């Protein structure tokens, strides 16, 4: 059987893969929601959902570095990666061990395509369709909810020292647009470093993500001093950057966020 990943690479399997290693947290959660938890043999230390999974499965490293010998010993049928979260060098090494399926996510359509791909690859088509339908229904309900809202100019921070933000051509930027926000840094690419003193003081909202940098209330107070006219909020980064089955719950979270703003 031949399948494509999201880079249009062809992967051949004699049978449905039964031993899965996932090196992307959001994709690990998706596997569980597809009913495939028993087939997962290896995950990363960042695969925090569901909460008890790391106590049950072998941790093979992080998203940028893994223990290749540990992965070999697990004898995987397939290794699930992401173009952005995993390094090219690591993926080249992993391909010597097992077929590597690579996701490449920029928008909601890409996310839904990946869910469909996993449903096909792991023979869980019905569950994949159910998850996709739930996400689409939540997205539609949310679009009705925010129809008449004016666009707020938003800066979304992902890191400190140096300060880094989400700009265009990112999944986070797509989520901001679905919220009818205007990304203050939409003229820049990916995840640039920025200087606070070069930002417009009339910006409407500054969002401090819970990941990858764990922003806290102290950082809110610091930026309130720097940007007295802006609303500074801590946001759950998983709902803006996790593109798997967590999207089922993201739009309900976005509703509460709009209420707070």
Write out pLDDT tens, residues 47-98.
Answer: 999 999 999 999 999 999 999 999 999 999 999 999 999 999 999 999 999 9
Write out pLDDT tens, residues 136-182.
Answer: 999 999 999 987 667 899 999 999 999 999 999 999 999 999 999 99
Domains of the chain, first to last: 2-138 (3.40.50.1980), 147-260 (3.40.50.1980)
Q: Distance (Å, rounded) from C-alpha 40 to C-alpha 37? A: 5
> What are the Cα distances from residue 256, in Å, to 115, 188, 221, 239, 249?
26, 28, 22, 12, 12
Q: Distance (Å, rounded) from C-alpha 93 to C-alpha 91? A: 5
Q: Which of 32, 21, 103 is nearest to 66 (CA)?
A: 21
pTM score of the predicted model: 0.94
């Amino acid at each position: 059987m031949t399948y494509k990943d999201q880079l249009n690479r062809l992967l051949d399997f004699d049978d449905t893969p039964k031993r899965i290693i996932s090196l992307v947290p959001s994709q690990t959660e998706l596997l569980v929601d597809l009913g495939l938890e028993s087939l997962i043999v290896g995950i990363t230390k960042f695969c925090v959902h569901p909460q008890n999974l790391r106590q049950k499965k072998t941790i093979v490293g992080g998203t940028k570095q893994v223990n290749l010998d540990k992965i070999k010993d697990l004898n995987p049928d397939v290794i699930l990666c992401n173009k952005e979260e995993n390094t090219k060098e690591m993926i080249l090494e992993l391909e010597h061990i097992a077929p590597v399926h690579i996701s490449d996510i920029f928008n909601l359509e890409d996310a839904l395509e990946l869910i469909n791909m996993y449903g096909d690859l792991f023979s869980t088509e019905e569950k994949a369709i159910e998850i996709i339908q739930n996400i689409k229904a939540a997205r539609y309900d949310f679009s009705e909810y925010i129809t008449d809202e004016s666009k707020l100019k938003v800066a979304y921070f992902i890191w400190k020292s140096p300060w880094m933000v989400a700009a265009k051509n990112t999944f986070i930027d797509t989520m901001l647009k679905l919220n009818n926000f205007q990304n203050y840094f939409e003229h820049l690419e990916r995840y640039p470093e920025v200087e606070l003193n070069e930002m417009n003081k009339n910006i409407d909202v500054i969002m401090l993500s819970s990941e990858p940098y764990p922003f806290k209330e102290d950082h809110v107070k610091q930026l309130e001093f720097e940007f007295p006219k802006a609303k500074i909020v801590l946001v759950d980064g998983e709902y803006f950057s996790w593109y798997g089955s967590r999207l089922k719950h993201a739009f309900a979270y976005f509703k509460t966020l709009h209420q707070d703003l």
